[in-house]
Amino acid sequence: MLDIQGRKYASVTVCDVTLYDLVTKYPVMYFDTLKVTTLEGTAEVTDIQGGQGNATLASVSHSKAINVQFDDAIMTMSSLAVLTGGELKEGTNENKIKMVNSEIVKVADKDATIKLERKARKGSYVYIAQLVDGILSTATRLDEVLEAESDTIALTDFHNYKQDSIVGEATFRVFYEYEMGFPTKTEELTEITVLADKFAGTYRFIGDTLLFNQFTGLNDIFQIEIPKLKLDSSFSFNLNAATEAVVFSFKGKALRDDEGQMIKFRQLRVEGKSGDETYGQFDGSFKRVPAKEVTVDSVDASLKDTGVTYPLNENYEVIDTTDTPEVDGE
């Protein structure tokens, strides 16, 4: 039986969130660096009015909705793929990932070659723009695409540049593409592709947090389950030069499952001892108290305490007291 007023709790921290695949049941994403977790329940009400004075005769509630938002202090490529509905892949030697790069290269008049940090991709163009007094000139490119990947390119291979084009030292910004396959000991390249017809999915949401139990002074476990959470595919990046870290927000709404359920709340109370040690009082919303024997009046169904009590053990079972129940005052 529920108490009219149960134990009081205070929220002390955010949730750790796990998203589970609805089909395979496997966990697909775990968040343990969240800053804020917000649940908002809404419903609409339609008033039915009539009669003289057009008074409100009834109010009908409908269109229940539960919206969820959890803000992550740290982004991962996996969480970004879940948020955008994108496909995450790692580079392999058979399916390399392209990366665009730009770098500053200095060239001497006697060494008319461009030396790159990485090898430019086969079949691509390389572009250069000379930097003069802090100003980039108009970019120019190779006359032909590269026939093989290379990190050394002759300056004369660029359009409008000849052997005597450079006098003294010159500085260029070079723009090019390179590829990477399997990860190395020091580098790993991954890529997320977001397609126009792919969106964030629907997952089983489990949120685990703690509630401070005012009675015991301990933290009790509190869990939130949303059987079907549809993530919102909208997202935004706020990349700024300030020292404050960017927050990555995940939004979604609870869907009704096949059993009509939208959300569940669970509380795991922490058990301890208080009061009479014999009865092992429970330090949560409900106390483990001795069962009392009563009689029921056959006329008015009122209850009368006989004074006989039956102590309970920690499993809520009656303690055998030599076959003789206790009597109050004895």
Go through the chain and tell me how many residues it has: 330
In this prediction, what percent of the chain has a pLDDT beyond 90? 50
The whole-number pLDDT of residue 274 equals 35
Measured distance CA(18)–CA(188) in Å, rounded: 26
Does the 97-183 domain belong in CATH 2.40.30? Answer: yes
Measured distance CA(139)–CA(173) in Å, rounded: 9
**Per-residue pLDDT at 322 exceeds 80:** no
The whole-number pLDDT of residue 20 equals 95
**pLDDT tens column, 108-159:** 776 778 999 999 999 999 999 999 888 999 899 999 999 999 999 998 899 8
Measured distance CA(50)–CA(305) in Å, rounded: 52
Name the CATH topology of 9-44+63-86+195-268. Pnp Oxidase; Chain A (2.30.110)
**pLDDT tens column, 153-211:** 998 899 887 666 666 788 999 999 999 999 888 899 999 999 999 999 999 999 999 98
What are the start and end residues of each CATH 2.30.110 domain in the chain? 9-44+63-86+195-268
The whole-number pLDDT of residue 1 equals 45
What residue type is 126 in one-letter code? V
Closest CA to 187 of 105, 111, 273, 96: 96
Other C-beta atoms within 10 Å of 126: how many? 21
pLDDT confidence tier of residue 232, bands split at 50, 70 and 90: very high
**pLDDT tens column, 266-293:** 988 766 533 333 333 333 444 455 566 7
**Per-residue pLDDT at 301 exceeds 90:** no
Q: Which two tokens stand for residue 326?
A: 């206790």
**Beta-bridge partner residues of 126:** none
Instruction: Please provide the average confidence, as pLDDT, over all residues in the chain.
Output: 83
Over residues 225-241, mean pLDDT: 86
Closest CA to 18 of 194, 252, 226: 226
In this prediction, what percent of the chain has a pLDDT beyond 70? 81
What are the start and end residues of each CATH 2.40.30 domain in the chain? 97-183
